[in-house]
Amino acid sequence: MLKKTDFYINGSWVAPAEPNPFPVIDPATESEIAEISLGSSADIDKAVTAARAAFPTWSATDVTERIAVIERLLTIYRAGAEEMAKAISTEMGAPMSFSRDEQVGAGDWHIEGFLKAIHEIEWERPLRADAPSERIIKEPIGVCGLITPWNWPMNQVTLKVVPALLTGCTVVLKPSEIAPLSSLLFAEMIDAAGVPAGVFNLVNGDGPSVGAALSAHPDVDMMSFTGSTRAGSAVTKAAADTVKRVTLELGGKSPNILFADCDLKKQVEGGVRFCMENAGQSCNAPTRMLIEASAYEDAIAIAKETAEKVAVGDPHEEGDHIGPLVSQTQFDKVQDLIEAGIAEGARLVTGGAGRPAGFNRGYYARPTIFANVIPEMRIWREEIFGPVLAMTPFKDEAEAIRLANDTPYGLAAYLSTQDPERARYVALQLRAGMVRVNRAPFAQGSPFGGYKQSGNGREGGIFGLDDFLETKTVAFGDMFS
Ligand code: NAD
Count of beta carbons in the 10 Å neighbourhood of residue 3: 10
- Residue of the nearest CA to atom 35 in ligand 1? 227
Instruction: Give the model's pLDDT for residue 308.
Output: 98
254 close to ligand 1 (CB < 6 Angstrom):
no
- Residue of the nearest CA to atom 37 in ligand 1? 250
How many angstroms does the Cα of residue 230 sit away from the middle of ligand 1?
A: 8
The verdict on 186 and 215 lying in the same domain is yes
Please provide the average confidence, as pLDDT, over all residues in the chain.
97
Instruction: Give the model's pLDDT for residue 356.
Output: 97
What domain range includes position 91? Answer: 2-250+454-474
Using one digit for the tens of pLDDT, what is the confidence trace for 19-50?
A: 999 999 999 999 999 999 999 999 999 999 99
Count of beta carbons in the 10 Å neighbourhood of residue 395: 10
The arithmetic mean of pLDDT across residues 84-95, rounded, is: 98
When divided into structural domains, the chain yields a total of 2
Residues listed for the chain: 481
The verdict on 228 and 291 lying in the same domain is no
237 close to ligand 1 (CB < 6 Angstrom):
no
The verdict on 160 and 147 lying in the same domain is yes
Ligand 1 atom nearest 178 alpha carbon: 26
In a domain, 423, yes or no: yes
- Which residues lie across from 136 on neighbouring strands? 125, 473
Q: Can 376 be counted among the known catalytic residues?
A: no
Using one digit for the tens of pLDDT, what is the confidence trace for 129-161?
A: 999 999 999 999 999 999 999 999 999 999 999
Q: Give the orientation angle of helix 153-167 with respect to helix 181-192, to 10 degrees.
A: 30
149 close to ligand 1 (CB < 6 Angstrom):
yes
Cα(466)–Cα(460) distance, integer angstroms? 10
Instruction: Give the model's pLDDT for residue 52.
Output: 98
In a domain, 479, yes or no: no
The verdict on 236 and 272 lying in the same domain is no
The verdict on 315 and 378 lying in the same domain is yes
Is the pLDDT assigned to residue 415 strictly greater than 70? yes
The verdict on 235 and 322 lying in the same domain is no
The verdict on 242 and 268 lying in the same domain is no
In a domain, 480, yes or no: no
CATH code, domain with 327: 3.40.309.10
Please enumerate in sequence order all residues whose Cβ is within 8 A of that of 390, keeping only pairs 6 or more positions apart, or say none.
287, 288, 289, 341, 346, 370, 373, 377, 379, 380
212 close to ligand 1 (CB < 6 Angstrom):
yes
The arithmetic mean of pLDDT across residues 200-212, rounded, is: 98
Task: Report the DSSP pairing between strands 31-37 and 21-26.
Answer: antiparallel
How many angstroms does the Cα of residue 148 sit away from the middle of ligand 1?
A: 6
Share of the chain above pLDDT 90, in %: 99
In a domain, 382, yes or no: yes
Using one digit for the tens of pLDDT, what is the confidence trace for 325-335?
A: 999 999 999 99
How many angstroms does the Cα of residue 143 sit away from the middle of ligand 1?
A: 21
To test the ligand 1 pocket, which listed residue (147, 278, 448, 453) has its Cβ within 8 A of the most ligand atoms?
Answer: 147
193 close to ligand 1 (CB < 6 Angstrom):
no
To test the ligand 1 pocket, which listed residue (283, 446, 453) has its Cβ within 8 A of the most ligand atoms?
Answer: 283
How many angstroms does the Cα of residue 432 sit away from the middle of ligand 1?
A: 19
The verdict on 55 and 185 lying in the same domain is yes
Ligand 1 atom nearest 176 alpha carbon: 9
In a domain, 194, yes or no: yes
In a domain, 370, yes or no: yes
Q: Does residue 359 sit in helix, strand or coil?
A: coil
The verdict on 208 and 282 lying in the same domain is no
Instruction: Give the model's pLDDT for residue 480.
Output: 63
Using one digit for the tens of pLDDT, what is the confidence trace for 107-130?
A: 999 999 999 999 999 999 999 999
CATH code, domain with 110: 3.40.605.10
CA 275 to chain centre: 15
SS (H, E, C) 73-104: HHHHHHHCHHHHHHHHHHHHCCCHHHHHHHHH
Using one digit for the tens of pLDDT, what is the confidence trace for 451-462?
A: 999 999 999 999
162 close to ligand 1 (CB < 6 Angstrom):
no
- Residue of the nearest CA to atom 6 in ligand 1? 149
The verdict on 225 and 306 lying in the same domain is no
Count of beta carbons in the 10 Å neighbourhood of residue 137: 14
The verdict on 229 and 322 lying in the same domain is no
How many angstroms does the Cα of residue 160 sit away from the middle of ligand 1?
A: 14
To test the ligand 1 pocket, which listed residue (44, 91, 151, 253) has its Cβ within 8 A of the most ligand atoms?
Answer: 151
In a domain, 292, yes or no: yes
Is the pLDDT assigned to residue 481 strictly greater than 60? no
Catalytic residue among 112, 249, 292, 383: 249
Share of the chain above pLDDT 70, in %: 100
252 close to ligand 1 (CB < 6 Angstrom):
yes
Is residue 265 very low, low, confident or very high in pLDDT (cuts 50, 70, 90)?
very high
228 close to ligand 1 (CB < 6 Angstrom):
yes
In a domain, 351, yes or no: yes
**Helix or strand holding residue 42 (H, E):** helix 41-60
Task: Kindly report the pTM of this predicted structure.
Answer: 0.98
- Residue 141 in contact with residue 169, Cβ under 8 Å? yes
The arithmetic mean of pLDDT across residues 390-403, rounded, is: 98
How many angstroms does the Cα of residue 180 sit away from the middle of ligand 1?
A: 13
C-alpha radius of gyration, the chain, whole number: 23
The verdict on 240 and 273 lying in the same domain is no
What are residue 54's phi and psi, to 5 degrees?
A: -80, -20
Please enumerate in sequence order all residues whose Cβ is within 8 A of that of 2, keeping only pairs 6 or more positions apart, or say none.
24, 33, 34, 35, 181
Instruction: Give the model's pLDDT for residue 1.
Output: 84
How many angstroms does the Cα of residue 177 sit away from the middle of ligand 1?
A: 11
- Which residues lie across from 249 on neighbouring strands? 226, 455
